[in-house]
Structure 1
């Protein structure tokens, strides 16, 4: 059963480990309005989890045309406004972990399983959120921790060449934490791009979390091994692996 020993759990931030009542979408929509970008609520939701600058590129190209000379100028304008709005939000509004998050963190620590947080945010706002939650404690300048820190690594989307749906943040977390085999890794997130990233990385379990920004219906069509109601359900899946159930997959995990 060594092949299925879990050494690392990779978790998204907003909506998965950090409570999100669609604040990020609201900040994005505000920046879009302020910069003259047309973006529906549905389109903004569908782009959750992706690098936000990349999303502005997609939307401006759709509005102006793929090769319009003003696209990058407008992207820069929208993104600068978005950063101001988002940073102000997280610096001034309450920030909470999601239901079940701290329970999972405690279990993983007790079982010597490393935790890496990945995010579509850039480093500045990632650190604001981590700092508000106390999760920066014990991380070095490269945002790598140790066995005593709450998390062992934080990877932001501006620290890899390509954010989600590419697997690079998961692969960087593995590299930083000395995990060489993706079959020792669980990935979990609440957006389609989280699931696409985990699938591309070839992790043992790729889990969709349905109490975040996306519902069961919005996630079920994307690659996943299971959909779970909250991330503390990962505990039961890991216990299943310990007991020899293939990949920890249980009937309950497939209840959707």
Structure 2
């Protein structure tokens, strides 16, 4: 397969393309503890990348019992507090791309490969972040762009039936961008759930990034084709595919 047969690279946001010094984790932990969830830092880190409302369901079901009548009301309360904390953070703090991210975007554009960003965030926060980075410019109402926009699509977890580790966001990105063969898609992210979604989708390459929220040691046991030190190493991966063919 030549590099030109790779049609789409799908990338996670926080920790992969957007610098995250555990801010999301901290916002989640703050909301969890404010609303009475008993969870360790390790338990919270382990679920990064998953849709956040789903994570609150997991924690409340574990704490109260699967069938407890108060689970959904407690989930609603925790999620509302989390949204408030998270939106305030991203509206008031600077947002930066990760090391090597813009270099990768430039390479992909030069080689005619589309870029889609997926995230466990919901649309409002996703747009706050994209807007601050200038990546929202030129995207239409479906958050789809063209060859001149920085990214070609943005998919948030509230826009699909199931968030990660289900493959729904990957499949939606393919549909939006007219990519029909999953073996022409590369997926990359910095969390176990990112890698789980790539495995479930059956992408050509499923890549872990170890300079985000999870280390090599934390990702090594999850499905992957390679672990990269930074996102721009995808350029070398694509160059090697080009040489082989």
TM band (smaller chain): over 0.9
Q: 1:4 to 1:162 in 2, by over 3 A?
A: same
Q: 1:227 to 1:3 in 2, by over 3 A?
A: closer
For 1:151-162, what aligned pairs fall within 5 Å after superposition?
151-162=151-162
* Matched-pair contact (CA < 8 Å) for 2:16–2:189: yes
Aligned to 1:16: 16
Q: Report the Cα offset of residue 39 of structure 1.
A: 1.4
TM-score by length of 2: 0.98
Aligned to 2:228: 228
Aligned to 2:76: 76
- 2:79 alignment partner, SS class: helix
For 1:104-143, what aligned pairs fall within 5 Å after superposition?
104-143=104-143
Q: Distance in 2 between matches of 1:114 and 1:148?
A: 11
Runs of at least 5 residues in structure 2 that lack an aligned partner in the other structure: none
Q: Distance in 2 between matches of 1:211 and 1:226?
A: 14
* Matched-pair contact (CA < 8 Å) for 1:4–1:204: no
1:31 equivalent in alignment to 2:38:
no
Which protein, 1 or 2, shows the higher relative CO under an 8 Å CA cutoff with sep ≥ 6?
2
Aligned residues: 245
RMSD: 1.1
- 1:11 alignment partner, SS class: strand
Q: Distance in 2 between matches of 1:234 and 1:199?
A: 18
Aligned to 1:214: 214
Deviations 1:77-103 (A, max 9, x none): 000000000000000011000000000
TM-score by length of 1: 0.94
Q: Distance in 2 between matches of 1:103 and 1:2?
A: 20
Runs of at least 5 residues in structure 1 that lack an aligned partner in the other structure: 246-256
Aligned to 1:180: 180
Q: Distance in 2 between matches of 1:3 and 1:88?
A: 41
